[in-house]
Amino acid sequence: MTKRKIGIFVGSLRKESFSKKVANTLAAQFPADFEVETVDLNGLDIYNQDFDDEGQVPASWTKFRETVKHFDAFLFVTPEYNRSVPAVLKNALDVGSRPYGASVWDNKPGAVVSVSPGNLSAFGANHHLRQSLVFLNVPTMQQPEAYIGNVTGLLDETGSITDGETLKFFQSIIDAFVVWIDHNSKK
């Protein structure tokens, strides 16, 4: 049986990003019949419609669009910048959404996990991201909601997430996402 492919998109380029640590932990919790790839957003050129209109598309866009096309579902793990989605992740959505009519996101299931060292758990980023995903026609998992607050308290001395209760909650997110993917994938 061919493995279903999950693309993970992290809204932080920071080397020691908490969101990356959460994403890596979640990636390891998918069942064996899933292939999981975290897409590197570093170096993805900023969207400029002229490039599409004039057919002068940066190589980073072509590579990104080709990569995303092959995924069956998307997991977005994001911090919050100024109560919204970090530019790097919004740019990835924009690049993948064009040229008009050729969006690589269209009609594939997704899930959103927001991460913050603060109490509010990046709620603003989580919901601004969902607003874009509605327009992009990415059916986005509603429950369980995944707001990871006070994230530094979840990391052990090596910077890994090993706490049993946290891992159980993360596993419940992935288990629900697998069901969501089954229900929302094109047959």
Under rule CB under 6 A, residue 9 binds ligand FMN: no
Site string for ligand FMN, 101-120 (x = CB under 6 A): --------------xxxx-x
Give me the sheet containing 73-78, strands edge to edge.
34-39, 4-10, 73-78, 110-115, 147-148
Under rule CB under 6 A, residue 82 binds ligand FMN: yes
> Quick one: 12 or 132, whose CB is closer to ligand FMN?
12
Under rule CB under 6 A, residue 18 binds ligand FMN: yes
> Quick one: 79 or 110, whose CB is closer to ligand FMN?
79
Helix axis angle for 59-69 and 87-97, nearest 10°, is 80
Under rule CB under 6 A, residue 147 binds ligand FMN: no
Short-list 129, 59, 43, 53, CA closest to 93: 129
Q: Which of 7, 8, 12, 68 binds ligand FMN (CB under 6 A)?
A: 12
CA-CA distance, 176 to 156, in Å (whole number)? 26
> Quick one: 17 or 60, whose CB is closer to ligand FMN?
17
CA-CA distance, 55 to 49, in Å (whole number)? 10
> Quick one: 58 or 117, whose CB is closer to ligand FMN?
117
Under rule CB under 6 A, residue 123 binds ligand FMN: no
Query: In the complex, which residues of this chain contact ligand FMN (CB under 6 A)?
Result: 12, 14, 17-19, 79-83, 115-118, 120, 122
